[in-house]
Chains A and B, each alone.
Chain A
């Protein structure tokens, strides 16, 4: 049992009438006890995946397994998952206690059991003593907690969270991010979290699925995805990136903006056209002489922990730089970066091919050592 993924999607497609599919031939596995995030822009299909798992909608094609059992036709009320909705969907005619007790009452539990469980769940989300409040008397953050308590009290194997933090203000959102992560650790059950906020995804997840246009673009740990984006979309969506076209001259040597640079990538064809990603924080401001690139500062913004400089090279490529140093607008500066900072992306590479190539590096690294 332990090795069976709790949820498995096998070539699942969801299509409404003749519109382009919302979800196109998607396969993935979810392991027990981890915090997963489905990340992508609106309309990418992330909420559809959640609704398929919850059972609110049915797949057009493909199979969905829960604990190894196919659940395509199992109605939502018979599934071992609970959802925290974007607008919380708390029942306005019931007070906090009754909202949380809703699922337990349907299971026809005895009153003392219900009371104990609701109390425990409310304690869990730091809402002790709020039992008799009406929903309309609760703040946004408190409602959020009620919604979570209402889900966890049923002791589901998976909790689905549909952009639950999007309605909260920044400070509260950050607080809740910690709380949610902490909660997941304490409960030890699987969380599937949907968001379009990449920072949130990076901060909270064990695993991230980046989605776009009904397809999973890349899946992996936050660092994997941040450091090794598979394509322009992922690189752009996760954090800020400088992306330019380039050419792979040979292993460990790449050419872009008219110059050749040493890099750590290999295993690509010679003279293969590629895209180069360099993260803004990997660029260092230095003198023109010492810099590998020469750029002109176009604008500068103070971001608190760092300055954000927007610069242009002579080819007109924009280079974003995150630096603690300042540079005057209009001046020319040099930019320095390590070979490791260069990330090479093959055009149109699938996730499988990408993973294979990454493994190949690892082998080479080990061989080299």
Chain B
């Protein structure tokens, strides 16, 4: 009996020590409340020097937490355990969050720097008049390819992927909208097409691409392209810019048939406690100099027109990441197609995956 009692006392003691360590470690990080601002962002998606600068300018304490998927982020905000003041979801999520009433309506008068944002990237379908969100970074879906492995072969369109020379060389990201969308684009249809006939055509077209497809993968696509496991990958421009920094043989192109235009956006969740501070932070991030510094660090495309002047020329003039007006017109932002259409997209994607060589 006494042995069992000792055993439980032991467990209780260990738990107490662990709990105490966790809580003291947390308070070291300044977790204790007060004039704080809690930011919920993707991993490594901000220059941390800027957070320090913001803390210095405003006297606020910033708590920075990260997530790795929009779905995970939304779940946590919906549950409301932590009071995030700023979150940075992708555009299709904003539509959903808006509909679920998870967002605070922005007070534009508190964000004078909003004028710096390129008009092309304002007032988009997922958030008309930008009532709830301000674009943070944007990008495209395109083709990353290894020119060395392909012996100098040039790729500039979706149609090029069907080239028999690319047998077993193409990697796709594991996303139904991206892959089916590519099929739609290659046929000249809209990315947001919901016509069953068009979708079926796109799927059938994709099936003919099967011999060239090596794999459909997740985040590992960075690693696989960097390590030259495959020569071609259909990826987001953000991923492309990261892997191009690691492997100089890699190239990125936005296909001329058109493609997807995506946004990550700053929003204020309903659970925020420091709404004023959140507005200040959004305004701070839209400052041209601050934004330029952040863009250089993250190396994604910034929607901030004023910031471009403070950035190196070769970066701003890089058509791969700042495509021409002409090409931008062909890019489409994903619309929320509704559950049923999304299910159909996924159904077709599943069939495409199962299609055997």
- Do chains A and B make direct contact within the complex (CB under 8 angstroms)? no
Instruction: List chain B positions with a Cβ less than 8 A from chain A.
Output: none
